[in-house]
Amino acid sequence: MEKVNSREELKTLRQKYKDNVIMRLVSDNAKDRVEIYVAIGDCGLKSGARDIMKVIFDEVNAKRLEKVSVIAMDCVNGCDKPDAPKVEGNFACGHDPTVDVIFPGEATPTRHGKVNADMAKKIVADIAARLEGK
Amino acid sequence: MHKTRLQILICGGTGCISSGCLEVEDALVAALEKHGIRDEATILKVGCFGFCEQGPIVKIYPDNTFYVRVEAKDCEELVAEHLMKGKHVDRLLFKSPITGESCHHHMDMAFYKTQLRIALMHCGMVDPENIEDYIGVGGYEALAMALNDLSQQEIIDIVKASGLRGRGGAGFPTGNKWQFGLDNKSDKKYIICNADEGDPGAFMDRSIMEGDPHAVLEAMAIAGKAIGADEGVVYIRAEYPLAVNRLRVAIAQAEKYGLLGDNIMGSGFNFHVRVNLGAGAFVCGEETALINSLEGQRGEPRLRPPFPAQKGFWGQPTVNCNVETYACIPLIITRGADWFKSFGTEKSPGTKVFALAGKINNVGLIEVPMGTTLREVIYEIGGGIPKGKKFKAVQTGGPSGGCISEKNLDVGVDFDTLTAIGSMMGSGGMIVMDEDDCMVNIAKFYLEFTVEESCGKCTPCRVGNTRMYEILERITQGKGKPEDLVELRELGQTIKDASLCGLGNTAPNPVLSTLNHFMDEYEAHVLHGKCPAGACKDLVNYVITEKCIACSLCAKACPVNCIHPTGSETPNGKKKYVIDQEACIKCGACIPKCPPKIGAIVRE
């Protein structure tokens, strides 16, 4: 246990322990964050989307992208509902692993289909570049 | 950066513990292990989320999913569906009572939408038993500022400029209190945190101490620096074991980190805090009685002046503030007085925490800007009155406060407006009553509380309140006389004028305010021997009318077997049922049993 001997040491500790709470702080202010959704429903699971989610999460972590949240979501095309219309050319569950990226203020997400590990890294790198560009 | 992909927060307040959150935690861990994803989630037990009606609450980050009324048996599905497959478990989501739609995010709920959390900012957000969380959200920075950047006078000037008023009830300007503490010179001074929360139905101080204990400790240290005190005491009732425990854990952690104790953050300033348990006497919430109790004497109030800031604990200058007041201080220091003043009303800046209870859909803990109307609090945040019943009154200020009727619902709540309409802020309890509540009975309930809690030092309070209680008892038994109503007013005013402390000064308030707003109910009892709400058992009879079809359902429901088939005959030759009035305990259990289309049982 570190003893805080000065204001600077408190600041250092705060930087360190911010990691504990940053997920909660950013999520509570959700309108300012970038959200990456990975479809890990039944079809996603079969296509290995959980591994892709892990790659994305690790990349976001490694790059310390504080304002980016990696969130799991259900199948994008309602494959569990047989009545749901299958849209040709759109990303059906057959295109899993599916990854959606939505920036603050955007109405619709950008959708990526058949994402592999390299593409996943590229998606995160693009987000990082776009955030830096701002 | 993130240690795990998910953070799962479980409400670990006293309310949710009693509704089973500890079992939920165990079941959640078991389910995560079963699915092999224990390493994907951090589970945290945090303080009160406020929506106690819907507890236990489980909140999942970063998804921002807010699950309500989660039981241990739900955890397997929650993990298998939500955490494994990204499918929200719809049946555990809160449903909007208006649209019926599921709310995923808590900010979609009417209960949270208009709330603004300052005192509760980190309650339900940080792990109260881990100082790292509090440091991570910027904790103890205000203390660092107070120790490094600000003089004693500058700290007090910020608090004065913020307009913060004591949240314990009286609304005394906190900055002025601290100024007296600084101006009264002495080698030894004390800081006290009044955590003797005693109003029936109030639990805001408990929740703050359970959910964010470090905010209170940090503020006490800042107050210590401001007036030159090196010792602080939290006076808390022993019936708050969880809050006591979390405070003790927090003090030990802060001392280990050098954020309390000797030479805090290398500044040379010393401040030690200890917890002192009280036996739960209501009068010990009064500051001079509290100090007596701390000194090992009977919890009886002292004459003021001298005020505690002049001669308080052990005869030394003492600043004594309420838990919620302290909880506002760190943010006022770091964000500034202007930030705090940007919320609330001109004379009562900031926010106030209220505990909503009684006949209201969303029972729980809320924080709103001062000036929010009672109507917004009760109908928007509180979700209105259950079962479509009609609103009758809201009681604020606990046993010291008064009842507010329908006509004042659009008053914006602050210290001065509530006093102007014959009630008071008090510590922030809000108990809602509907058409089934008898106001005479309610006044009697509160008076019974103060009669029991009176310390007995002053005759007007000790004897006067007892006499008032006896009159109310007579009235609710149908033995009241018209002159009783005059006597109640006279006694009440005398007790208010002639008692020493706040308990006696305010004890008659529930009676006086109901006399003002609900005179018709008193008159119905006294002049006509009737209780319009049907709550006073001595004035009510349950009777089975000729509509009875002799189905016997009421007789089966009667807990004292006082309903017998001894009446006239029904068309098909059965004996109608009759209630034996001598034996009836007037519980009303028979009424809902009678089929609605028959409706043979009436309350007279």
State the CATH number of the domain containing residue B556.
3.30.70.20
Q: Say whether both B197 and B295 belong to one domain.
A: yes
Q: What is the pLDDT of residues B276-316, one digit of tens each?
A: 999 989 999 999 999 999 999 999 999 989 999 999 999 99
Q: Is residue B212 in some structural domain?
A: yes
What string of DSSP letters covers B329-343?
A: HHHHHHH-HHHHHTS
Verify that B266 and B361 share a domain, yes or no. no
ipTM, 2 dp: 0.90
What integer pLDDT is reported at residue A87 of this predicted model?
A: 44
Span B258-274, mean pLDDT? 97
Q: CATH no. for residue B515? A: 1.20.1440.230
Distance from CA of A89 to the nearest CA of B (A): 24
pLDDT value at A86 more than 50: no
Q: What is the pLDDT of residues A28-68, one digit of tens each?
A: 988 899 999 999 988 888 888 999 999 999 999 999 999 99
Contact A27 B9 (CB under 8 A): no
| pLDDT score, position A85 | 47
Whether B115 is in a domain gets the answer no
Tell me: pLDDT of A111 over 90.
Answer: no
For residues A107 and A72, the answer to whether their CB atoms sit within 8 Å is: no
Are B586 and B445 in a shared domain? no
Of B7, B105, B258, the CB nearest to A5: B258
Quote the minimal CA–CA distance from A51 to chain B in Å: 12
pLDDT tens-place string over residues B224-240: 999 999 999 999 999 99
Q: Which residues from A are below 8 Å from B1, CB to CB?
A: 19, 22, 60-61, 64, 66
Helix (H, G, I), strand (E, B) or coil at B434: strand
Nearest to B513, CA basis, from B402, B436, B594: B402
- Which amino acid is present at B82? H
Lowest-confidence segment of A79-88, B347-356, B385-394 by average pLDDT: A79-88
Q: Which of B341, B370, B392 is the last residue of a domain?
A: B341
Q: Check pLDDT > 90 for residue B375.
A: yes
In chain A, the percentage of residues whose pLDDT exceeds 90 is: 59
The tally of domains found in chain B comes to: 5
The sheet carrying B231-237 orders its strands as B272-278, B231-237, B190-195, B318-322
Nearest to B34 by CA among B92, B84, B87: B84
Domain check: are B375 and B291 in the same one?
A: no
Among B341, B370, B400, which residue terminates a domain?
B341
Q: Shortest CB distance from B62 goes to which of A64, A71, A74?
A: A71
The b/e string for A105-129 (b: 16+ C-beta within 10 A; e otherwise) is eeeeeebbbebeeebbeebbeebbe
- Rounded distance, CA B245 to CA B240, Å? 9
Residue of A nearest to B255 (CA): A3
B237 is written with which tokens?
């009732």
Distances (CA, A) of B141 to A22, B135, B491: 17, 8, 52
One-letter-per-residue 3-state SS of A61-75: HHCCCCCEEEEEECC
pTM here?
Answer: 0.91
Q: Provide the phi-psi class of B276: left if phi over 0, else alpha when psi is between -120 and 50, else beta.
A: beta
Asked whether residue B187 falls in the same domain as residue B220, the answer is yes
Is B104 a residue whose pLDDT tops 60? yes
B245/chain A closest Cα distance in angstroms: 21
The percent of residues in chain B predicted with pLDDT above 70, rounded, is 100
Encode pLDDT of B376-418 as tens digits.
999 999 999 998 899 999 999 988 899 999 999 999 999 999 9
Start-to-end CA distance of chain B, whole Å, equals 68
pLDDT over threshold 80, residue B325: yes
**Closest residue of chain B to A30, computed from CA coordinates:** B64
Domain that holds residue B448: 439-528
Instruction: Spell out the alpha helix ranges (H) of B74-151.
Output: 75-77, 84-85, 110-113, 131-136, 141-148
**Which pLDDT value is given to residue A93?**
62
B374 in any annotated domain = yes
**Residue B304 and residue B272 share a domain:** yes
Domain shared by B445 and B505, yes or no? yes
Closest chain A residue to the Cα of B8, Cα to Cα? A24
Is it true that the peptide bond before A109 is cis, omega within 30 degrees of 0?
no
User: A41–B85: do the CB atoms touch at under 8 Å?
Assistant: yes
Q: Is residue B123 part of a domain?
A: no
**A33 to chain B: closest CA residue:** B62
Please, which pLDDT band fits residue A26 given cuts at 50, 70 and 90? Answer: very high
Mean pLDDT of chain B: 93
CATH of the domain at B53: 3.40.30.10
Whether B231 is in a domain gets the answer yes
Residue type, B429: G
Which of B403, B434, B465 terminates a domain? The answer is B434
Residue A77 has pLDDT above 80, yes or no: no
CA angle (B49, B53, B55) in 5-degree steps: 55
Q: Are residues B145 and B242 in the same domain?
A: yes
Tell me how long chain B is: 604
Contact by Cβ (8 Å): B461, B495: yes
- Domain annotation covers residue B329: yes
B429 with B457, same domain: the answer is no
Q: Do B196 and B331 lie in a common domain?
A: yes
- Best probe of the A interface among B135, B147, B150, by most A CBs < 10 A, is B135
How many CA within 13 A on the CB side of residue B419? 9
pLDDT for res A134: 60
Clarify whether residues B41 and B74 are in a common domain: yes
Q: Does the residue B121 lie in any domain?
A: no
Check which CATH number belongs to the domain holding B388 and give it: 3.10.20.600
Residues B155 and B303 in one domain: yes
Q: Largest Cα–Cα distance of chain A, in whole Å?
A: 65
* Whole-angstrom distance, CA of residue B207 vs CA of residue B323: 10
Q: How far is CA A46 from CA A67, A95, B505, B588, in A?
A: 29, 11, 72, 59
Contacts of A1 in chain B (CB under 8 A): 256-257
Mutate to test the interface with B, among A1, A17, A42, A74 (most CBs of B within 10 A): A17
Indicate whether B483 pLDDT > 70: yes
* CA B109 remoteness from chain centre: 21
Residue B344 clears pLDDT 90, i.e. is over it: yes
B111 falls within a domain: no
